[in-house]
Structures are given as structure tokens and as C-alpha cells.
Amino acid sequence: MMEPLLSRLRPRKEQGTYALSLVYGKTVYHYLISQDKAGKFCIPEGTKFDTLWQLVEYLKLKADGLIYRLKEACPNSSASAEAAAPTLPAHPSTFTQPQRRVDTLNSDGYTPEPARAASPEKQRPMPMDTSVYESPYSDPEELKDKKLFLKRENLLVADIELGCGNFGSVRQGVYRMRKKQIDVAIKVLKHSTEKADKDEMMREAQIMHQLDNPYIVRLIGVCQAEALMLVMEMAGGGPLHKFLIGKKEEIPVSNVAELLHQVAMGMKYLEEKNFVHRDLAARNVLLVNRHYAKISDFGLSKALGADDSYYTARSAGKWPLKWYAPECINFRKFSSRSDVWSYGVTMWEAFSYGQKPYKKMKGPEVLDFIKQGKRMECPPECPPEMYSLMSDCWTYKWEDRPDFLTVEQRMRNYYYSLASRAEGSPQCGQVAEAACG
Ligand code: AMP
């Protein structure tokens, strides 16, 4: 499909109106942007926004009546864009830089986020080449503005749904910082929610706010406006299990090990910081691209006290029993070692390419199964070294289970051994894939 090359925005003589020009193929299309009586901006028949910036950002995400959504700005359009955006004089970045687009899984397969400095011979995107490897606040200038509560005027919420849950929906958006704009995922709490749910979302935000690791979805902040919104960095590739379903031929075991190693790194960080996740599962591992995973969903997570190694829940709740260690279900005791158990189940889900664990069993039956010393079988594609590690994660007594320090090391050794074997072999990329049995 032909893509528009450039777009340009300029003020028209007629007060309060702007002309948006878009080159698509060999044709230039012109659109009128006008303001209604309330001062809201829109293209004819389009969605209305309070600021020009929000409209432009929206049109980058959605065509909304244009021939195509906006891509790159015309290089000489910055001056006119600034003039055109009287509400945004402090943000020269608006309309002057081509925006990095979020990762998506399109109908042709996976479109990874472009690498920052991609060389022609090195096609594979590395996590550190993406915009979400470092915190957007790693820039000291941006850090000056770091606060838990964000201003609504800097946030654009698009009506593009990334996912949903009991709480409401997760929408795509853009957050404007001092020097740049970043793609974000926004968890929007539905209006009908009770105070208890709002408190729960705020607890999730407080936990995420304390974490900063490349393998964990970062919180940008919270916005209290038309709804309570949790603004997070974008991991647009969707959950790990969904990504892997039906991809045995396409995604080699080495790629699965790579992603699981990243999850182990994120969990090792949590263990070091004395946080327990309590909901680690493939559904809560989100992909930035095919080679980059981040842990998400901190709704059940807890920060442990400095001298505590576990958290005791007051009562049992709506728990993901199939991912829980025996001591969680029997004694409501949660620790990094019980997260290790969940990591084992996550490994099983990944190496079985998105299958559901303990398929035919109900949650309580699983506990009996485990008590009898039984464990899930090795998935057909799973290498023996990886099945041995997941079996160790399912050690009944938590004291005898490995910690994430050990798990990460074993995952790393295995993944690196595959990588070095592949480098030495003439068929580079087709990493050796020894399966169980
Ligand atoms: P959750 O309730 O946090 O598990 O989110 C529900 C769904 O929303 C997930 O399965 C994802 O598809 C999507 N989602 C949540 N957080 C993000 C994020 N940071 N980036 C992209 N999509 C997300």
C-alpha cells in the first residue's frame, strides 16, 4: 500500500482555522481544521479535541477521515506548526520529528519497533535499541517533571482498545513530556467502579511507581480526570501466550528461551527489591517485539517489609490457583519463592506455545495432583534442560526451591549456550532445538 510521505500544518488567514496537507502517492490532499464554538479542534466530521496537539497525535494513530493516518512531518513545517499551535509554545517537538510508532502484530505477522541505530546487516531488534529499554525519566531534564499524578492536558487518549478486564479497558495514547512524546498504554477504570477498586488501582500504581527495570512495564503516572487512568509505557505486542499460539514452526525454541530469560531478569530485580508479584503468568508477560518481553499487571503485588521474606494474605481471594505454589493455597503465604513456582508454570505455557496449564483440571484438583507428587509433563518442543529447570521451580517445599538469582543464571547459561552453538554452526539462526524424549 502507498503510504503518505509528509504532512504539513499551517494557520490559515481565517482566524482559528488551519490547513493540513498530506502527500499520499503523487497526490497532495488538503484538509481544513476548524474550531467549534467551544474552541475544540477537528477535521470535518472528525473527532474533536481541546488542543491542536491532541488532534495531530490522534491523526497519527487513526486516519479518522483522512486518506491515511499522519506519518512524517514536512521538515520545514516546524515554524508553522509552532505558530499554528499557540497552546503549545513550550513543545517544539510537536510536529517536527517523525514519531516512532508502537509495535503491533499486524495481519502479516509481527512488525517490531524500529531499532534506534539499525545497521543493514543487523536486522534483529535488540531491547536496548527500543524506546522502552530505559525509563523516559532517565533524561535529567525529564526527571524534573516526574510526579505520580500527570496533567490531563499532556495526555491523549485514543479510542483504540489494547485490551480489557474487569476494571475497564486499556487504551492506546500519547503522553507529552518536556522534550519528547511517548506512546503509552492507559488503563482506564470504568465509571461504575467502587471506591475499593479505585484504591486497588492506586495500590497497583504505587507499586509500579517504585520499579524501574527494562523487563518490567513502567508506570509513567496516574491521571485523575474523566476517569482514573493508569498511564504505562507501551508493550504493544500483546501477551506472550497469545503471541505463541500456533507459532511452533515460526518461533524457534531459542526465541522462547530468550523471552523467558528476560522474564527471569525482571523477576530477579523484583526479588532483590523485596517485592512479590503474585500473578506471574504468560498472560501477564507483554511483548514489545518478538525479542523483547516485559512483566506487567501488578494488581496483586506487594512490597515486603525489610525484614520479611513473605506476605500472608488475610483471606483467600479470586486467585489464579493453577499458577500458585502449595504454600499460597494452604497457608496464604507469598514470597519470591512462590513467584518462582509461577515462573515454572509460565515456562510451561511458553514452551508449549500458549497451551493452558493443567488443561482438564479445575483449580482445587490441581492442588491434589501436586500433593501426590505429580507434575505437568514436558511439552513436546521443550528442551530437557528447560524441563529440568521448570521441575525445580515446582519443588513442593518453598525452602528447597531455587530463588530467582539461580533461575536467572540457569536461564542465561542455557540461552547463551544455544546462541553460541548457533554462532558456531553454519546454519546460524536455526539454534539447536533438542526436545524432551
Ligand atoms: P491487564 O488487565 O493489566 O492484564 O491488561 C489487559 C490487557 O491490556 C493486556 O492483556 C494487554 O493486551 C493490554 N495491556 C495492558 N497493559 C499494556 C501495556 N503496558 N502495553 C500494551 N498493552 C497493554
* Atom of ligand 1 at shortest range from CA of 232: 19
**Helix residue ranges, H only, 167-252:** 195-209, 240-244
Q: How far does residue 163's CA lie from ligand 1's centre (Å)?
A: 6
* Atom of ligand 1 at shortest range from CA of 297: 3
- Which residue, judged by its Cα, is nearest atom 8 of ligand 1? 163
The reported pLDDT for the residue numbered 75 is 58
Q: Which pLDDT tens digit goes with each residue over 348-387? A: 999 999 999 999 999 889 999 999 999 999 999 999 999 9
Q: Is 374 exposed, middle or buried (0-12, 13-18, 19+ CB in 10 A)?
A: exposed
Q: How far does residue 170's CA lie from ligand 1's centre (Å)?
A: 6
The residue-averaged pLDDT of 278-301 equals 97
Residue 118 has pLDDT above 50, yes or no: no
Q: In sequence order, what DSSP letters do the residues of 98-145 get, joined into one string?
A: PPPPPPEEETTEEEPPPPTT--TT--SPPGGGSTTSS-GGGSHHHHTT
Residues flanking ligand 1, CB < 6 Å: 162-163, 165, 170, 185, 217, 232, 234-236, 238-239, 284, 286, 296-297
Q: Cα-flanking dihedrals φ and ψ of residue 312, to 5°?
A: -105, 120
Range 296-319 burial, b when 16+ CB lie within 10 A, else e:
bbbbbbbbbeeeeebbeeeeeeeb
Residue 206 has pLDDT above 70, yes or no: yes
- Which residue, judged by its Cα, is nearest atom 9 of ligand 1? 163
Residue 336 has pLDDT above 70, yes or no: yes
Q: Which pLDDT tens digit goes with each residue over 159-195? A: 899 998 878 899 999 999 999 999 999 999 987 667 8
Q: What percent of the chain stands above pLDDT 70?
A: 83
* Atom of ligand 1 at shortest range from CA of 239: 10
Q: How far does residue 390's CA lie from ligand 1's centre (Å)?
A: 26
Give the number of other Cβ atoms within 10 Å of residue 249's Cβ: 7
- Spacing of C-alpha 273 from chain mean position: 21
Closest C-alpha among 295, 289, 285, 363 to residue 324: 363
Indicate the length of the chain as a whole number: 437
Q: Is 27 exposed, middle or buried (0-12, 13-18, 19+ CB in 10 A)?
A: exposed
Grid cell for residue 355: 497451551
Q: How far does residue 234's CA lie from ligand 1's centre (Å)?
A: 9
> Ligand 1 pocket test: which of 162, 232, 285, 318 has the largest number of ligand atoms within 8 Å of its C-beta?
162
Q: Which pLDDT tens digit goes with each residue over 224-257? A: 999 999 999 999 999 999 999 999 999 999 999 9
Give the active site residues. 279
- CA distance linking residue 114 with residue 129, whole number of Å: 8
The reported pLDDT for the residue numbered 408 is 96
* Atom of ligand 1 at shortest range from CA of 233: 19
Is 134 within 8 Å of 301 (Cβ atoms)? no
When comparing pLDDT for 422 and 67, which is higher? 67
